[in-house]
Chain A
Amino acid sequence: MRAARAIIGRELSLALRSGGGAGLGLAFFLIVVLLAPLGVGPEPQALAGIAPGMLWIAALLACLLSLDRLFQADAEDGSLDALALSPLPIEAIVALKALAHWLTTGLPLAVAAPLIGVTLQLPAAAQPWLVASLAAGTPALSFLGAIGAAVTVGLRRGGLLLSVLVLPLYLPTLIFGARAVAAAAAGENPWPAFLLLGGVTLGVLAGAPFAAAAALRANLR
């Protein structure tokens, strides 16, 4: 437990200190969403129609921003070797680092979402579902991203390849997350899409640490 707390605490303080990039994902999310009315036009009808999808796409991109440094920074300064030889299994280290990534990127998005939903004319009935779907869906983004970050850890410009690898994996989360919000906005039952979204996240939480750890082991050689 002490080792797990140490990893989370270290990741959070690294993210919050200079050059860590916590808050940048949120700022990026805000800017992308605020650009939408400028590009699409300010008509409430048009904005409300694209709001669920737009919000979720912006959330995917915001999560991607900081993923390329998830393991790369540790690989460059030798910490990854030392972490791999620590008493914690690599799978647990991956899971803890992905959890810390979610705490600094996914969670702030869910918290800030109501504010952003209003600017896109999202109906009031859909606001709680926006928060709930982001809270339930963004952990999958961090954990799937950890697989991509582990595969590209040795590459100099891994960020672009990471996006190409990881964005297709985000499809189920995007579809069910946006669908749950859209259903709530249209006055339909959002539960089926929301439960599928939660199912995707649970499956990813269970499987991704093992895939990412296998990729890291191969990259440590």
Chain B
Amino acid sequence: MSLVVTDLACRRAGRRVLDGVGFALAPGGTLVLRGPNGAGKSTLLRALAGLLPPERGGATLDGHLALGDDPDGWAERIAYAGHLDAVKAQLTVAENLRFWAALLGADATAEAEALDAFALAPITSRLAGACSAGQRRRLGLARLALAPRRLWLLDEPTVSLDAEAAERLAAMIASHSARGGMTVVATHVALGVDGSELRLLPPAAASTAAADPFLA
């Protein structure tokens, strides 16, 4: 088993939004997170990204690397695409991608492949601020293709994507899986990728008492 999450509990702004979440994902596996708004899908993804320290429980990658013990080692193995696209409106599409390529250590080939993966080549010289929401989202997702990562964490990646771009995303996830990569994706729509499903439910309202004295 490659990604093992055990008894994960998280709080956000003093309210418990996740409790006792556990699952395991084999290499090449895809897990689709389902659940109503407020069920904690984004919180789970942020916790798995290492951005939100869990209140209890934890996760291990490849059997030995534990979330929280080695934040840098963990961050080197994951790619996170959240609600926001991490795109600068004042830079062109190519400049945005080149920045992330330099930061992630990707070479020119990987950069060209990332442009290709979401058919961004026709709009490389356009300012990201002049792009449509779907084009910006494609640019944000193209970041995933820049550098190889074991685990992809995708938060509603299909929002504002058209049908063709959604198919490209599904193809990208499929080829990521074929290379042994894992994907945890929160979505409300059918993605068209094979994988298991995890249903999250909003925790009972009883757990609102804050453990953090600063938020009490």
Contacts and interface: CB of A to CB of B under 8 A. Distances in A.
Interface string B127-167: 00000000000001001000000000000000000000000
A43 interface: no
B82 interface: yes
Contact of A78 (B82, B91, B98, B104): B82
B85 A6 contact: no
Interface in A163-212: none
Interface string A76-111: 111101111111110000000000000000000000
Interface in B45-68: 49-53
Nearest to B100: A82
Contacts of B95: 10, 13
A2 B102 contact: yes
Could you tell me the dominant secondary structure of chain A's interface residues?
A: helix
B84 interface: yes
Interface stretch (B21-29, B30-38, B70-78, B184-192): B70-78
A7 interface: yes
A20 B103 contact: no
Contact of A86 (B53, B75, B83): B75
Interface string B191-206: 0000000000000000
A221 B103 contact: no
Contacts of B80: 81-82, 85
Contacts of B99: 6-7, 9-10
A3 interface: yes
Contacts of A14: 88, 90-91
A125 interface: no
A221 B50 CA distance: 9
B103 A18 contact: no
Nearest to B102: A6
A157 interface: no
Interface string A139-155: 00000000000000000
Q: Interface size class for chain A?
A: 20 to 34
A81 B78 CA distance: 12
B127 to A, nearest CB: 9
B90 A6 contact: no
Interface string A19-42: 110000000000000000000000
Given A78-B85, A221-B52, 4 more contacts: A13-B91, A77-B86, A79-B88, A220-B52
Interface of A: 2-3, 5-7, 9-10, 13-14, 17-20, 76-79, 81-89, 220-221
Interface of B: 12, 49-53, 72, 75-76, 78-80, 82-91, 95, 98-100, 102-105, 140, 143
22 contacts: A2-B102, A3-B105, A5-B102, A10-B91, A13-B95, A14-B91, A17-B90, A18-B90, A20-B90, A76-B84, A77-B88, A77-B89, A78-B86, A81-B80, A83-B103, A84-B75, A85-B51, A86-B75, A88-B103, A220-B51, A221-B51, A221-B52
